[in-house]
């Protein structure tokens, strides 16, 4: 009797997971060519699909000042990453408005790329060996380093001041979480879904320090002068544009445009506009 029940439960689960898998295939909303696997050589490449669709779909942050922040006044998403995305749309499709932005968080960006919801991730994403197993990356387009943000006057002045009982706020799916656990193993790390939630928690006194890339923390400082970045960066966070594995033509097109932006001076202009200084090197 019991065994029979288990059998039917198992069967039901199999039926359900097949249903879920079939459902996933339908989520390729932006793919007008109708092909379901851009990686197969027999099918059109993702770059071809983007061209025939006439629109580049890019995942950017919506809550990260300086890189990708939705301006509630006009609903525009603005920042360094957004300007890079516009330049890519211009070079691939001849028009920077042939661009659709979608919000990603650190946790959702790779799954959204995998589900074909977006063509590219341009979202403060560090190139790591672990991530390279899941996605392909462009050349480095921004260099950050992990740092700390505290309320002005905090006793925490650098990573050395983080000790047992220090509450560190970070964002799920970011390299910042892994790095802080490695560099300050005694700390208590509290993880949030996105950077505005983490910053709100810092302001509400739910933690002593917020950690992520210095460039993101500078954006928070610009939002609230009561907070400051302390200590030297303690990691290297080279940002890359992530692309679904195997789409070499798209990787080449992205790298070609990054190189062209460098030599034309457009990259420098975008960098200075958002970061407030000239890029290093």
Q: Considering the complex, what minimum distance in angstroms separates the CB of residue 123 from ligand GLU?
A: 6
Q: Which is nearer to ligand GLU, 99 or 121 (CB)?
A: 121
Residues 53-112 contacting ligand GLU, CB under 6 A:
106
Q: Which is nearer to ligand GLU, 49 or 81 (CB)?
A: 81
Site stretch for ligand GLU (CB under 6 A), options 23-31, 34-42, 120-128, 273-281: 120-128
Report how far Cα 239 is from the mean position of its chain's Cα atoms.
Answer: 9
Q: Which is nearer to ligand GLU, 47 or 217 (CB)?
A: 217
Q: What is the token pair recorded at 246?
A: 């195997």
Residues 196-255 contacting ligand GLU, CB under 6 A:
212-213, 216, 237
Binder among 138, 147, 176, 196 for ligand GLU (CB under 6 A): 176
Closest by CA position to 239, among listed 121, 143, 151: 143
Site stretch for ligand GLU (CB under 6 A), options 7-15, 21-29, 132-140, 168-176: 168-176
Give the DSSP per-residue string, 209-226.
EEEEEHHHHHHHHHH-TT
Indicate whether 138 belongs to the interface with ligand GLU (CB under 6 A). Answer: no
State the sign of the Cα–Cα–Cα–Cα dihedral 57, 58, 64, 66: negative
Half-sphere exposure of 104 (CA within 13 A, CB side): 31
Q: Considering the complex, what minimum distance in angstroms separates the CB of residue 106 from ligand GLU?
A: 4
Closest by CA position to 172, among listed 212, 132, 112, 128: 212
242 and 125 Cβ atoms separated by less than 8 Å: yes
216 and 67 Cβ atoms separated by less than 8 Å: yes
Residues that bind ligand GLU (CB under 6 A): 106, 123-126, 171, 174-176, 212-213, 216, 237
């Amino acid at each position: 009797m019991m065994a029979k029940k288990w059998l039917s439960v198992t069967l039901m689960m199999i039926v359900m997971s097949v249903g879920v898998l079939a459902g996933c295939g339908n989520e390729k909303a932006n793919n007008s060519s109708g092909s379901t696997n851009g990686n197969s050589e027999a099918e059109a490449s993702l770059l071809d699909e983007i061209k025939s669709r006439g629109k580049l779909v890019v995942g950017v942050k919506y809550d990260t000042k300086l890189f990708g922040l939705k301006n509630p006044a006009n609903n525009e998403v603005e920042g360094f990453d957004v300007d890079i995305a516009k330049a890519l749309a211009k070079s691939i499709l001849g028009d920077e408005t042939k661009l659709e932005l979608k919000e990603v968080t650190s946790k959702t960006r790779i799954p959204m790329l995998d589900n074909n919801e977006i063509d590219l991730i341009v979202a403060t994403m560090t190139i790591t060996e672990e991530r390279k197993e899941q996605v392909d990356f462009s050349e480095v387009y921004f260099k950050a380093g992990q740092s700390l943000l505290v309320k002005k006057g905090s006793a925490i002045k650098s990573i050395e001041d983080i000790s047992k009982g220090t509450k560190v706020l970070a964002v799920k799916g970011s390299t910042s979480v892994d790095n802080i656990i490695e560099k300050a193993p005694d700390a208590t790390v509290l993880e949030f879904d996105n950077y505005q939630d983490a910053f709100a928690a810092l302001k509400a006194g739910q933690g002593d320090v917020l950690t992520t890339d210095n460039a993101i923390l500078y954006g928070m400082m610009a939002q609230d002068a009561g907070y400051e970045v302390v200590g030297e960066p303690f990691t290297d966070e080279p940002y890359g544009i992530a692309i679904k594995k195997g789409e070499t033509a798209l990787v080449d097109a992205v790298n070609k445009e990054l190189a062209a932006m460098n030599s034309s001076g457009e990259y420098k202009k975008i960098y200075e506009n958002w970061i407030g200084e000239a890029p290093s090197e």
